[in-house]
A and B are shown apart, each in its own frame.
Chain A
Amino acid sequence: MLILKTLARNKPLHGFAIAEFILETSSGVLQVEEGSLYPALQRMLLKDWIAGDWGKTEENRRARYYGLTAEGRKQLARELDRYARVSQAIAAILQPV
């Protein structure tokens, strides 16, 4: 969901940029082994939620830029919806009486 949202907010990004974006936006809270990003990306490629295109970085290095597909947008919407319901439920339970 986070990756999908990241890609939805930006133009197509390469792996490092996605990791950086999540790290910065979450102010360093969400930090996992960065490599696990790649199997996740591959899984989404396989499910056709994202598409990868080779391009050049600012330093002229070859990198794959990932962008959201139409299917990916739908998936994001589904996940956001589900997340909203779950967090509402949690919020409702945690609300001080």
Chain B
Amino acid sequence: MKLPRRIAAFFRRDSETLALREEMKLHVELRARKLHHAGLAPDDAGFAARRQFGNAAVYQDQISALWGWTMWERFWQDLRHGIRMLFKAPGFAAITVLTLALGLGINTAIFSAVNAVMLRPLPYPHSERLISLWEETIHKDQRFSSSGTPVGTAGGSQRTTVAVANIADYRASGAFEDLASYDSSPVNLTGMGTPQRISGESVTWNYFSVLEVLPVEGRTFLQEEDRPGADPVAIVSHEFWQQRMGAAAEAVGHPVLLDGKPYRIVGVLPAGFQSPPKLGVDTPTEVYLTASYPREQLANRGDHDVNVVARLKPGVSLAAARAALGTTWAGLAKQYPATNGNLRPAIATLRDDLASDVSHSLWALLGASGLIVLIACVNVANLLMVRAAGRRHESSVRMALGAGRLPLMRQLMTESLVIAAAGCVAGIVTGRLLMLALTAMAPPDIPRIENAGMDWRVFAVAAAIALTTALIFGMAPAWQASQVKPVEALKTAARGTGGTSQVRWRTALTIAEVSLSLILLVGAGLLLRSFSTLMGVNLGFQTDHVIAMNINLPDLHYPDAQARLQFFQKIEDRVRSLPGVVAVATANRLPMRGGWSSGIFVDGDMENEYSPDFQAVSPGYFETLGIPLLRGRTLTGQDTADSTPVAVVNQAFSHQLLEDRDPIGHTMQRSPNAPRISIVGVVNDIRRKGKDGLIKPEVYLCGGQTNLYPVHLADFAVRSAGDPRALVNAITREAWAIDKDQPVTNVRTMDEIIDEAVARRRFQTLLLLIFAGVAVALAIVGIYGVLTYSVSQRLSELGIRVALGAPPRAIVSLVLRQAGALIAAGIALGLVGAYGLTRFLQDLLFEVKATDWHAYAGAVALLAMVAVIAALIPARRGARVDPAVALRQE
């Protein structure tokens, strides 16, 4: 009740003050008149009245303090004073605000990325209860461990998709409201303009109810539609409806041709809805089809091929759900030891799971940007100390006139707050700009980063950091100022000599700066080394002059392996005769585009099952990708569905599965009753999954014999003499000449594919390099500032030295020695810090240890070099000092 009254009074305090004055004046006048009537002379009466009244000004002050105005008035006073002081020193103000803006801006930008990707709730109702579920194989022993390259994560667990048959058991665990499964299932869209391949998903009927999304038109799937043989129905995205159907009023009930088969649209999803795996991806899912798992799949616990999203029951925690699943798994493992014994379910919140790929690098970047803020703080503190030193005289005069230490400190703190506030505003603006640059530069596979923007969290964090920095950098000079002994300070006259404690403080700050920037430099160095190691990795195949594309033939028109083979043989013949084509290849999957692995038994030994990578390839595959044949023969056109099944393997296969025996002549089979496949050749190892992938045993099956295997030929690659891009139109034309409804999609040169695969590493390396650059620049400014100041303080001393005959070289080395001590101390501290902190980078590093000495040595050398250069400038200035001028200044 009192507070609002105080606040209201505060705003009319001026009129209140006037009113009080009027009241008091009236009082005195009335008293004077009364005394006059009592017989006093008018002058004496007035005098007596005033004496009787007392000191009006004191009463005014008492009243003012009573209402709590004094505190505010002092704050305003300090604030106005602070702002005035900043305007009086625009250079100083600009540098401090810029430094803060840079530090805060980088931090704000990175934090808003972290916020968007990892902290903000997913765009689904009650998304905190959405769970991602997967299965993990527990490796008890590592069969494929060999010298050199380890295979898989030894002793760890490997994530796989979920077996449909297990889902019902997981549901029975009781922790979830419901579970739905989904899988990406791209389809060919025909009958709406040029044939196109669009993103589709096959989902269980309850998928949308688990995500709690309601269609804007029509309905979601019915349970009876999610069965083999049910009427084909589809649900489309709002964007599909708007753009592909021209927002036709009657979308529901409309037929749509997918993979050549007519589907009836039963629902349209709300605008902006995206399924979890596609959040922030530029190829959003456009159609959803029912999963309609066949009976065999529903019974098979060995086939892992779907993703699962689940919704926790309200009030069930993640840990409780994990425990419930653990119990379920124990039962399953006992009942089905062959399929479930080594395979346990694992869960995480959907949000964390979606960000799991990038969370490491984002945290590392956030840590790095935190270091930058610290450096910026230290720098500003340093600048403020210089300023405080310059104002020692002012401080001591104030103190001599009776100002308390506390008000003095308070005033300096207020000035720091003004700087922090300005820095905060500038930092948020900088952060916004950096964020725009960041999202534009970011590789497209970081989920949800495009939503990075300012919200209350970002603002709150920026403001909190600014306030903290103000406290940190404001404290030192304020404390310093309060330690001023007016008598001594005034004795040393107007010259702003910093005391020894001043110098000690600034030395400490500079050392801190050097060490912090060394930490960043080491981090950047490690990432750079990791990246260059990665770039130096030999893939084992030639990526230049190769263009790759998908040609997914729909089952409806190409019902069997033979039909697909014929299509690809036709297109191979047609494309091979195009000018500029060197070689053509067909495969189920080209390198870098996923693949298939299957269990096999070698030479009829049914005891040991291995699981190498498999692909079915055409005879031209090895030539097109430039994979050299080492022994035996490659696949030829004579290997057909009617001849013996043959395959080519790589070195790792013979190394890991055959104990380095020559594989030619050995056989393998996928199950006891399956036909034996003869190995006819050995090719060079390749890293199928890209530069950071592992060399795994590979089996190249014959593309002409795909009737034996569950793979579809679908990828097509061409090696050209010139620019492979120039061939794209001609190839597409040839494809359409064979089948006018056949889309050719995902057209990329191999170089581009490899490039995209390392884009994220390149991005984080680049960012950390930029951060380290900023840090070093700030540290250099710090070193330069300290030395320039110290040289200007020692001008007279240096002048005397020069006058006494010291050569310039001696002066330079004198200053450099001082700088060297600073730098060395900073580097020593920084090495300790880097050793402690860079271990958090280990997960981001490729084949480089976090303690890699190259990175440390490089960082130390670079920092020492630029620091010495920064020190040279003031040192030379000191050496050039004219003794006469220097001495006259005294």
Our pick among B1, B19, B30, B54 for the contact of A33 (Cβ within 8 Å) is B54
Q: Is the CB of A42 within 8 A of B23?
A: no
Q: Does A19 contact B (CB under 8 A)?
A: yes
List A contacts of B30 (CB < 8 A).
16
Q: Which residues in window 767-820 of B have CB below 8 A to A?
A: none
In the bound complex, how far is the Cα of B843 from the Cα of A39, in angstroms? 69
Q: Does A74 contact B (CB under 8 A)?
A: no
The answer to whether A36 and B66 have CB atoms under 8 Å apart is no
Interchain CB contact under 8 A, A34 and B52 = yes
Please state if B63 and A34 are interface contacts (CB–CB under 8 Å): no
Interface contact B54-A42, CB-CB below 8 Å: no
Task: Please tell me if the beta carbons of B23 and A43 are within 8 angstroms of each other in the complex.
Answer: no
Q: Are A35 and B23 in contact (CB under 8 A)?
A: no
| Contact across chains for B67 and A36 when beta carbons are under 8 A apart | no
**Cβ–Cβ < 8 Å partners of A83 in chain B:** none
A5 on the B face (CB < 8 A): no
Give CA–CA (A57, B22) in the complex, Å: 13
The answer, yes or no, to whether B334 is at the interface (CB within 8 Å) is no
B57 CB to closest chain A CB (Å) equals 10
**Residue B472 at the chain A interface, CB threshold 8 Å:** no
Residue B537, interface by CB 8 Å: no
Interface mask (A56-95 → B, CB under 8 Å = 1, otherwise 0):
0100011110000000000000000000000000000000
Do B66 and A43 have beta carbons less than 8 Å apart? yes
State how many angstroms separate the Cβ of B46 from the closest Cβ of chain A. 14
Q: Which of A25-64 contact B (CB under 8 A)?
A: 33-36, 38-39, 42-43, 46-48, 57, 61-64
- Shortest Cβ distance from residue A49 to the other chain B in the assembled complex, whole angstroms: 12
In the complex, what residue of chain B is closest to A37 when comparing beta carbons?
B27
Residues of A within 8 A of B19 (CB): 64
Which B residues are in CB contact (< 8 Å) with A42? 20, 63, 66-67
Residue among B6, B20, B30 having the largest count of chain A Cβ atoms under 10 Å = B30
Q: Closest CB of chain A to B714's CB: distance in Å?
A: 84
Inter-subunit contact B66/A46 (CB<8 Å): yes
**In the complex, chain A residues whose CB is within 8 Å of the CB of B6:** 46
Asked if A34 meets B31 with Cβ closer than 8 Å, knowing A63-B23, A64-B23, the reply is yes
Q: A16-B27, A34-B27 are in contact. Are A39 and B66 (CB under 8 A)?
A: yes
Q: From B2, which residue of chain A is reached at the shortest CB distance? A: A46
- Most interface-central of A14, A33, A35, A43 (chain B CB within 10 A): A35
Question: In the bound complex, do residue A38 and residue B59 qualify as a contact, i.e. CB atoms below 8 Å apart?
Answer: yes
What are the residues of chain A within 8 A of B54 when measuring CB–CB?
33-36
Point out the residues of chain A lying under 8 angstroms from B66, CB to CB.
39, 42-43, 46
Q: Which residues of B contact A35 (CB under 8 A)?
A: 24, 27, 53-56, 58-59
A50 CB → nearest B CB, Å: 13
Nearest-neighbour CB distance to chain B for A26, whole angstroms, equals: 15
Chain A residue, CB-CB nearest to B27: A16
Residue of A39, A57, A63 near B59 (CB, 8 A) is A39
Complex CA–CA separation, A15 to B272 (angstroms): 71
Complex Cα gap A38–B27 (Å): 10
**A39-B59, A42-B66 are contacts. A34–B23 as well, Cβ < 8 Å?**
no
Separation of A48 and B599 alpha carbons in the complex (Å): 88
Query: B52–A16 contact, CB under 8 A?
Result: no
Closest chain-A Cβ to B48's Cβ sits at a distance in Å of: 11
Is the CB–CB distance between A48 and B1 below 8 Å? Answer: yes
Tell me if B5 and A46 are in contact (CB < 8 A).
yes
Closest-CB distance, A21 to chain B (whole angstroms): 13
- Determine whether B403 belongs to the interface, using a CB cutoff of 8 Å to chain A: no
Closest residue of B by beta carbon distance from A61:
B26
A-chain residues with CB within 8 Å of residue B55 when the two chains form the complex: 35
Residue in A closest to B65 when the chains form the complex, CB atoms: A39
**Contact A14:B63 (CB < 8 A) given known A33-B52, A36-B54, A48-B1:** no
How far apart are the CA atoms of A47 and B31 in the complex, in Å? 28
A7 to B27, CA, bound (A): 17
Chain B, 128-145, contact with A by CB distance < 8 Å: what is the 0/1 string? Answer: 000000000000000000
Question: Beyond A34-B53, A36-B54, is A14–B59 a contact (Cβ under 8 Å)?
Answer: no
Residue of B nearest to A42 (CB): B63
CA distance A67 to B66 in the complex (A): 20
Chain B residues 35 to 58 lying within 8 A of chain A, measured CB to CB, are: 52-56, 58
* B63: A residues at CB distance < 8 A: 38-39, 42
Q: Which chain B residues lie closer than 8 Å to A62 at the CB level? A: 22, 26
Alpha-carbon separation in the docked complex, A38 to B19 (Å)? 12
Q: Say yes or no: is B62 at the interface (Cβ < 8 Å to chain A).
A: yes
Which B1-17 residues sit within 8 Å CB-CB of chain A?
1-2, 5-6
How many angstroms between the C-alpha atoms of A50 and B20 in the bound complex? 16
B22 with A33: CB separation less than 8 A: no
Complex CA–CA separation, A19 to B22 (angstroms): 16
Question: From A34, which residue of chain B is reached at the shortest CB distance?
Answer: B53
Q: Report whether A39 and B62 are in contact in the complex, using a CB–CB cutoff of 8 Å.
A: yes
In the complex, chain B residues 92-119 whose Cβ is within 8 Å of any chain A Cβ: none
Contact assessment for B24 and A63 in the assembled complex, using a CB-CB cutoff below 8 Å: no
Cross-chain contact A15 with B23 (CB below 8 angstroms): yes
Residues of B close to A61: CB separation below 8 A: 26
In the complex formed, the residue of A with least CB distance to B20 is A38
Q: How far is the CA of A71 from the CA of B5 in the complex (A)?
A: 16
Q: How far in angstroms is the closest Cβ of chain B from A97?
A: 43
Asked if A33 contacts B5 (CB within 8 A), the reply is no
- Is there an interface contact between A16 and B5, defined as CB atoms closer than 8 Å? no
**Cα distance, A36 to B53, chains bound together (Å):** 8
Tell me which residues across on chain B come within 8 A of A46, comparing CB atoms: 2, 5-6, 66-67
Report A-chain residues with C-beta under 8 Å of the C-beta of B31. 16, 34
Tell me, rounded to whole Å, the shortest Cβ–Cβ distance linking B62 to chain A.
4
Cα–Cα, bound, A63→B28 (Å)? 13
Complex CA–CA separation, A64 to B18 (angstroms): 12
Inter-chain contacts of A19 with B (CB < 8 A): 27
Closest Cβ neighbor of A57 among chain B residues? B26
Closest to B57 in A: A35
Complex: A62 Cα to B15 Cα, angstroms: 14
Most buried by A among B19, B27, B58, B62: B27
Q: Within the complex, what minimum Cβ distance (angstroms) separates A30 from chain B?
A: 13
Q: Give Cα A35–Cα B59 distance, bound, in whole angstroms.
A: 7
B26 CB → nearest A CB, Å: 6
**Cβ-defined contact, A63 with B26, below 8 A:** yes
A38 touches B52 (CB 8 A): no
In the assembly, what is the distance between CA of A62 and CA of B29, in Å?
Answer: 13
Which residues of chain B have C-beta atoms less than 8 A from A63's C-beta? 23, 26
Residues of B within 8 A of A64 (CB): 19, 23
Cα A51 to Cα B416 with chains together (Å):
43
In the docked arrangement, what's the CA distance between A41 and B101, Å?
Answer: 50
Query: In the complex, how many angstroms separate the beta carbon of B4 from the nearest chain A beta carbon?
Result: 12
Closest to B49 in A: A34
Task: Tell me the smallest distance from the CB of B60 to a CB of chain A, in Å.
Answer: 8
Q: Check B26 against A14 for contact (C-beta < 8 Å).
A: yes
Please name all residues of chain B whose beta carbon is closer than 8 Å to the beta carbon of A47 when the two chains form the complex: 2
A20–B30 Cα distance when bound, in Å, is: 10
| B59 adjacent to A16 (CB under 8 Å) | no
Q: With A and B bound together, what is the CA distance between A70 and B53 in angstroms?
A: 30
State how many angstroms separate the Cβ of B764 from the closest Cβ of chain A.
60
A residues in contact with B67, CB < 8 Å: 42, 46
Assembled-state Cα–Cα distance A20/B24 (Å)? 14
Query: Residues of A at under 8 Å CB distance from B?
Result: 14-16, 19-20, 33-36, 38-39, 42-43, 46-48, 57, 61-64
24 contacts between A and B (CB under 8 A): A14-B26, A15-B26, A15-B27, A16-B31, A33-B54, A34-B31, A34-B54, A35-B27, A35-B54, A35-B56, A35-B58, A35-B59, A36-B59, A38-B24, A38-B59, A38-B63, A39-B63, A39-B66, A42-B66, A46-B2, A46-B6, A47-B2, A62-B26, A64-B23
Per CB-CB distance, the 7 closest pairs between chain A and chain B, nearest first, are A33-B54, A35-B54, A16-B30, A39-B62, A35-B53, A16-B27, A42-B63
Using a CB–CB cutoff of 8 Å, the interface residues on chain B facing chain A are: 1-2, 5-6, 19-20, 22-24, 26-27, 30-31, 34, 52-56, 58-59, 62-63, 66-67
- In addition to A16-B30, A38-B24, A38-B63, 14 A-B residue pairs with Cβ atoms within 8 Å of each other are A15-B23, A16-B26, A33-B52, A34-B31, A34-B54, A35-B54, A36-B54, A38-B59, A42-B63, A42-B66, A42-B67, A57-B26, A61-B26, A64-B23
